[in-house]
Amino acid sequence: MTSISSMFQRWFKPQDKSENKLDLERLPQHVAIIMDGNGRWAKKRGLPRLAGHRAGAQAIREVVEIAPNLGIKFITLYTFSVENWQRPKTEVLGLMSLFREMVEAELDNLHENNVRIRAIGDLEGIEAATKETFERALKKTRNNSGLTLLIALNYSGREDILRAARQLAEEQKDKAVDSQSFTQEQFAMKLATAEVPDPELIIRTSGELRLSNFLIWESAYSEFWVTNKLWPDFRKDDFIQALYEYQNRNRRFGGLGI
């Protein structure tokens, strides 16, 4: 079996081998990714936008393949936001078809590799065939104990916070409970990401510098890593570079750090 260290040497060739070493003991549990730039990738090549989304599937495969080998427990992929419904209908329909195609093509392999698929977002708001495909994947992998792959589909960070607040209020409306007694931990358990640790690292491709309504509550102390690469061009060595830069930051959480 190939060791993690030998795989690391193959995939990532740092400029300064004496200093740029990934510490496998200090990696994030949860990495979230805003996969941006598919449309621009296609436009640069004179291709339809959907071709860029299809090309981005390879980048997803590479990240999902390497993450468990490095001991990362959770990967969240921002696949489709509620704002994305504003895109042309042909692109939206093409994306939904592509989501089904990818899940159907990769499901057996993910299951065999002990990957658990989890969806965050409003699955009730997507068309029936895509919803059924994802529900089948969630059911098949629900007992897996390896990497948890969270798919943010028809997702809005603001809507998730609002839904959680409404749920908490509804549950307590007939109880004599002091609202001041509610804790952040109680609220977090009402979010779509309940029981998932907050992402320590958020990666965004294509050079954009915004959250785009993604994991607003959960990203309060996340580290951000941005690359100008478009998502279809993102590869394992880029992922390793992001992890390396993450573990060389001083995470102070409002304190003075060390």
Cβ burial 195-231 (10 Å sphere, 16+ → b, else e): ebebbbbbbbbbeeeebebbbebbbeebbebbbebbb
Q: Which conformational region is residue 165 in: left (phi greater than 0), alpha (psi within -120 to 50 degrees), or beta?
A: alpha
On whether residue 201 sits in a domain, the answer given is yes
CA distance linking residue 182 with residue 192, whole number of Å: 18
- pLDDT for 150: 98
pTM of the predicted protein model: 0.89
- pLDDT for 182: 82
Q: Which residues of the chain have pLDDT under 70?
A: 1-20, 174, 176-178, 253-258
CA distance linking residue 214 with residue 17, whole number of Å: 35
Which ranges of 45-112 does DSSP label H, i.e. alpha helix?
A: 49-69, 89-112
- pLDDT for 9: 40
- pLDDT for 153: 98
On whether residue 178 sits in a domain, the answer given is no
On whether residue 254 sits in a domain, the answer given is no
Total domains, the chain: 1
What CATH code is carried by the domain that includes residue 60? Answer: 3.40.1180.10
Backbone phi and psi for residue 133, each to the nearest 5 degrees, phi listed first: -65, -45
- Tell me which residue range forms the domain holding 72: 26-157+197-247
Spacing of C-alpha 20 from chain mean position = 25
On whether residue 139 sits in a domain, the answer given is yes
**Strand extents, DSSP E, 179-248:** 201-204, 223-226
* DSSP H or E run through 158: helix 157-172
On whether residue 47 sits in a domain, the answer given is yes
- 76 by Cβ neighbours in 10 Å (0-12 / 13-18 / 19+) ranks as buried
- pLDDT for 111: 98
β-pair partners for 118: 150
Q: Catalytic amino acids? A: 36, 84
CA distance linking residue 55 with residue 10, whole number of Å: 23
